[in-house]
Structure 1
Amino acid sequence: MSLIRGSILMVCAALSWNILSLMFKPKLPPIVEGHFHPKFRRVAEIFRNKIENGKEGGAAFALYYKGELLIDLWGGYADEDSAQPWDNNTLTLVYSLTKTMAAITAAKMVEKGWLDYSKPVSAYWPEFKVNNKDNITVEMLLSHQAGLLHPTQNFNSFQDILLNKEELQKEVAQATPAWPAGTQHGYHMLSFALLVDTLLQKADIKHRNIGQIFKEEIADEYGIDSFIGLPYAENYRVAKSMLITAPQMLLSVLLSFDINYINIYINTIFYPTSHTATAFKAPKDVSERGRQNNPVIRAVPFSSFNGFSSAKALAKMLGILASGGTYQGKQLLSKASIEKLNTNMVEGLDNTLLVNMSYGRGFMRLKNSQGDTVYGHTGYGGQVTFADMTNQFGLSYVTNYPSFYFLNDDPRFKDLEKATYLCFQDYIASQKT
């Protein structure tokens, strides 16, 4: 009873603080810029309204169709404290959208013959074989079936990835799965990088880290303005990350009356040994407000969420896949590789997220506003990127003002997505006349 009373008091305190902060915070003039094909004017109007009415603090939204950037909108502020507006050059921390970069990198390595989805992880990482992990395949790891939600107790800081890499990898290799591999699935929110990044580095013929592989094989080759681990020289153009505090998050979830999120956070807070709490357990660099803005932390290559990108870069990357895999005469992935990447590996109740989820080999299989399956990923704060293979476009929404949403259901994005599909139909009709 005292625990419930304490939670209520914490929520009330957070509500009071939020109200007072909003009352005395000076208002900056709304800024919205970008360009769009005339058929998508309604999308631009919705985006502008969200910035002007304060529902969006800083964001970008983009659509790439067959190599053409049809929507490229940005607005609000990259950093309100210094009155730095979001501009055409702004990057932002995209959290779990980074997993799309890792998935495409893995697919590229498979296509090059450096990696095989069907082989056991231990074929590339022999130490991984122990404690009932000998039958975990590469594709099981990528599709969240390994049952290794928190494989290390000594992951206390992001810098451990660089300073204590070998010790971390040894500990991960010794971990025991929470369930027999391939029998269940649960979103490996943070551990994904500890597992997949190590695997890819060991499988790479040059033994590069995940950030280097992505940069050299994907980003540089196809002009993708995205990074896994941010180079120090790029910090000047990154939006300030505005992490939601725990009281703010709890308040927002309770006021939403959304049973899915309430269930997730109840398990995270009140059941510390649950799969949900285990998967969500994070070092201070992640969970404490402001730590993500440290350039040293930003630089760490960590594919679970330490990716930085613009919306148009993600839309371009996913748009290349949606339109066949070729860009300006160069093949990012073959059609066969794209099909493997998107193929459903597992679906049903997710042990971590406690809702039905469907995963391919690193991609989430999502439903768009039309009820059709698209391929990509959602991220903390409501961010989304996906490839619509039917309509042959890539779509992306990023923000540095996160909400509690992360299941492809943030109203800020869904409004834009719905309008985009309606406008896209008009656009296609206009191209036929």
Structure 2
Amino acid sequence: MADTVNGACDAKFAALKEEFARNFEERGESGASVCVSVNGETVVDLWGGVADPATGDAWQENTVSIVFSCTKAAVALCAHILVDRGELELHAPVAKYWPEFAKNGKENTTVQMMLNHESALPALREPVKKGGFYDWDYMIKRLEDEEAFWEPGTRNGYHMVNFGWTVGELVRRVSGKSLGQFFADEVAGPTGADFWIGLPDDVSPHIAPIIAYEPKPDDIPSDFTKRLLTKPDSIQALSFTNNGGWHPNDPAAHKAEIGGAGGISNARGQVAMYTPLACNDGSLVSADRLHAMSMVSTATQQDATLLVPTRFASGFMKSMDNRGQRVGRRESAIIGERAFGHVGAGGHIGFADPECGMAFSYTMTQMGQGLLMNERGQSLIDAAYRALGYRTNAPGAWIR
């Protein structure tokens, strides 16, 4: 373990450190970080492995990477800050802030529907131009012109990358700042988080490249993957592949404000963002707003995009336990009953749990199978909850 894992860990969380080491020794980890704070005190801050297999460059204390959809939580937090200030109304029509959006079946879309992945724009039908994801104005115009995939508000379907532009444009219109600048000014700056939505020209962190998951012969594909591979005009295929050539290791992608999947951070950076929420200290949002942020606002037995049961708070993922589902629908992310946060493709996660005052994050470069959690990250979550005296996650969330 000493040769692989660096950092500090409270003795109470020794089992988590052991699981983190096992990820490298047994579960194919390359480079990763894990961080936990409890009641504002950092109790786990570990990192290890290789940041770049091509060069052998080690993962360092301040190494960061793309954290994919963990970025959605940062975007949702920006929206909730504006809601808390009375500048953005959850149940107001989007047209109040963004008039050009209200056409092609989207006229009655509300702000809440956007946060709930119910705004019926999980994908774009026509090809995105090369580099389109790096062009904010182009993507906003495409979303304005796109026809709704269903009647907004009647169902939810995960808005893979589009969430960052739908909710992010509301943040931009209401605040007068770009999404990345608002996040930097109102969240990352005050909390000291190394977390960027669009890397500024004068910032050059040590970025570890993402390593794509390579399917194994004995893999059982999810329903999402089957649809993605067999139906090119499906929501699954369009949301995943119609991206204008976006690649997470492209320096242009790092500078673009891709709020649905392009944030750059590490576990420590995400924990810095979540700690004020876990502690309910009022520095980012009021106690009432925090309570609302942790409540389920939409749930379904079959998400229109992911094709599994999903549960969301307003812009955040809640504990999702699909272990009892049939093969192809078992992707899960099991956290505390009051916890809220977000996963990132391949197995990243960050969340706050106000019940126990815990902020947790795990990030890595070697993607795992699927879009929710895999054994590497879930084992760390489980160890953290056990260290805090939680008994079981059998009911679908960790309970004491």
**Is the TM-score greater than 0.5?**
yes
CA shift digits 1:300-321 (9 cap, x unpaired): 0111110011201212322221
Q: Alpha-carbon deviation of 1:274? A: 2.2
C-alpha deviation, 1:89, in angstroms = 0.8
Match of 2:323 in 1: none
Matched, 1:137 2:110: yes
- The 2-side partners of 1:91 and 1:275 are apart by 31
Alpha-carbon displacement from aligned partner over 1:217-265 (angstroms, at most 9, x marks no partner) = 1111121111111224444411122123xxx2xx33x6233xxx42111
Aligned mates of 1:370, 1:344 — CA distance in 2: 14
Counterpart of 2:126, as a letter, is Q
| 1:270 matches 2:230 | yes
Match of 2:288 among 312, 329, 336: 336
Closer/same/farther in 2, CA of residues 201 and 157 from structure 1, 3 Å limit: farther
Is 1:293 aligned to 2:246, yes or no? no
Match among 297, 313, 322 for residue 345 of structure 1? 297
Q: Does the CA contact (< 8 Å) of 1:143 and 1:345 recur in 2?
A: yes
Deviation at 1:371, TM superposition (A): 6.6
Aligned to 2:379: 415
1:212 is aligned, of 159, 181, 185, to: 181
| Partner Cα separation in structure 2 for residue 397 and residue 370 of structure 1 | 13
Q: Is the 8 A contact 1:235 1:295 kept in 2?
A: no
1:58 aligned partner: 31
Residue in 1 that maps onto 2:219: 256
Partner of 2:87: 114
Aligned residues: 376
Query: Percent identity between the aligned chains?
Result: 29
Distance 2:53 2:63 in 1: 14
TM-score with structure 1 setting the length: 0.82
Corresponding position: 1:174 with 2:145: yes
CA contact (8 A) 1:149 1:188 kept: yes
Correspondence list, 1:86-235, <5 A: 86-151=59-124, 153=126, 155-158=128-131, 161-162=134-135, 165-204=136-175, 207-235=176-204
Q: Distance in 2 between matches of 1:325 and 1:154?
A: 45
1:374 maps onto 2:339 in alignment: yes
Question: Contact 1:61–1:311 (CA<8 Å) still a contact in 2?
Answer: yes
Q: How does 1:311-326 map to 2 (within 5 A)?
A: 311-326=267-282
Contact kept in structure 1, 2:341 and 2:351, CA below 8 Å: yes
- Segments of 5+ residues of structure 1 without an aligned counterpart are 1-28, 427-433
2:312 aligns with: 359
Q: What letter corresponds to residue 407 of structure 1 in structure 2?
A: L
Amino acid at match of 1:322: A
User: Is contact 2:64-2:206 (8 Å) kept?
Assistant: yes
- Superimposed CA distance per residue, residues 405-433 of structure 1 (whole angstroms, 9 cap, x where no aligned partner): 3223x10112222222222229xxxxxxx
One-letter code of the match for 2:6?
Answer: E
Q: What is the CA distance between 1:268 and its match in structure 2?
A: 0.5
Q: What residue identity is the alignment partner of 1:242?
A: I
Inter-partner Cα distance in structure 2 for 1:277 and 1:236: 33
Deviations 1:122-173 (A, max 9, x none): 10111111122121001101110011122463533445543xx444423321
The one-letter code of the counterpart of 2:303 is D
Alignment of 1:425 with 2:389, yes or no, is yes
Match of 2:365 among 381, 400, 414: 400
Look up the equivalent residue of 2:119 and give its one-letter code.
A
CA distance, structure 2, for counterparts of residue 132 and residue 284 of structure 1: 25
- Please tell me whether the aligned partners of residues 64 and 312 of structure 1 are also in contact (alpha carbons under 8 angstroms): no
Which one has the bigger helix percentage?
1
Structure 2 CA distance for aligned equivalents of residues 161 and 203 of structure 1: 22
Aligned CA distance change for structure 1 residues 73 and 282 (closer, same or farther; 3 Å): farther
Q: Is the 8 A contact 2:4 2:49 kept in 1?
A: yes
**Amino acid corresponding to residue 228 of structure 1 in structure 2:** I
TM-score (norm 2): 0.88
How well do the aligned residues superpose, as a CA RMSD in angstroms? 2.1
- Segments ≥4 residues shifted beyond 6 Å: none
| Structure with the greater alpha carbon radius of gyration | 1
Q: Per-residue CA shift, 1:164-221, capped at 9, x if unaligned?
A: x4444233212221111111110010211232222221121xx211101100111111
Unaligned runs of 5+ in 2: 321-332, 391-400
**Shift in alpha-carbon separation, 1:209–1:30, aligned structure 2, 3 A:** same
**AA matched with 2:270:** L
Native 8 Å contact 1:267 1:274 kept in 2? yes
Which residue identity lines up with residue 313 of structure 1 in the other structure? G
